[in-house]
């Protein structure tokens, strides 16, 4: 079989049904691409991958529960061969940095054209990095490689427990409520919160929440 004749399985991960429907209709224009599943959050995504093989995940950053940024890191650690194309509305450079640091293969804007989505899929499946034309003037492959190998996102430095606590901080949980929710001592919770402030270089919880949500480290849902 020639490379150009090979078919590829694609999983859509976005919490908006209409967005998934629109993406699926665009993908149908290329008969080599087959959408094999749709999920609305990171947990559903990981559950799907437990039972099914896919070549590419088209993934939104802002999803409830396990958000797209964390899901990207988890997928790449468990299934390194799966390609991930981020499809997002976020044009802030820090989102891009965090996505690439987590292991994403491409970054596409929801404002991009239908044709651009197909171009992005082709490039990522071919093993190349892809950047939306909206951001292309600012970035090149060497920048992506720099962020992957040298500059670590604060999100990549957090432990699993710290990520969990950060999500609860964003939701407004007090240390006492977190301790009960996670079955930990309040002293342990305070220790983790202190580490979060240090790693993200923030002075207080308000600054931490604003930073985490603004830079896509957690979902605000």
| Domain coordinates in residue numbering, the chain | 3-149, 158-214
**Other CB atoms within 10 A of residue 204 CB:** 8
Contact 132, 100 (CB under 8 A): no
The pLDDT of residue 204 is 86
The CATH number of domain 158-214 is 1.10.3470.10: no
For the whole prediction, is pTM greater than 0.75? Answer: no
Pick the CATH number of 3-149 from 3.40.605.10, 3.20.20.140, 3.30.9.40, 3.40.50.2300: 3.40.50.2300
Which residues have CB under 8 Å from 30's CB, separation 6+? 118, 121
CA distance 33 to 40: 20
Contact 55, 8 (CB under 8 A): yes
Average confidence (pLDDT) per 10 residues, the chain, 221 residues: 71 92 93 94 92 94 83 91 92 80 89 91 92 72 57 71 88 90 92 89 84 69 51
């Amino acid at each position: 079989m020639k490379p150009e004749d090979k078919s590829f399985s694609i999983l859509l991960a976005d919490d908006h049904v209409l967005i998934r429907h629109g993406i699926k209709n665009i993908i149908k224009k290329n008969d080599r691409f087959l959408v094999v599943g749709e999920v609305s959050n990171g947990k559903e995504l990981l559950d799907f991958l437990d039972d099914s093989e896919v070549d590419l995940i088209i993934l939104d950053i802002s999803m409830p529960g396990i958000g797209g940024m964390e899901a990207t890191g988890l997928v790449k650690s468990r299934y390194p061969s799966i390609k991930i194309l981020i499809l997002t509305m976020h044009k802030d450079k820090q989102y891009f940095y965090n996505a690439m640091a987590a292991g994403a293969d491409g970054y596409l804007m929801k404002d991009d054209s239908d044709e651009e989505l197909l171009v992005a899929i082709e490039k990522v499946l071919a093993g190349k990095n892809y950047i939306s034309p909206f951001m292309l003037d600012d970035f090149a492959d060497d920048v992506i490689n720099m962020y992957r190998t040298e500059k670590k996102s604060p999100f990549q430095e957090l432990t699993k427990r710290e990520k969990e606590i950060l999500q609860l901080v964003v939701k407004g949980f007090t240390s006492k409520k977190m301790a009960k929710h996670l079955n930990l001592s309040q002293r342990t919770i305070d220790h983790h919160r202190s580490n979060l402030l240090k790693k993200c270089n923030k002075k207080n919880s308000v600054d931490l929440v604003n930073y985490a949500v603004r830079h896509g480290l957690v979902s605000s849902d």
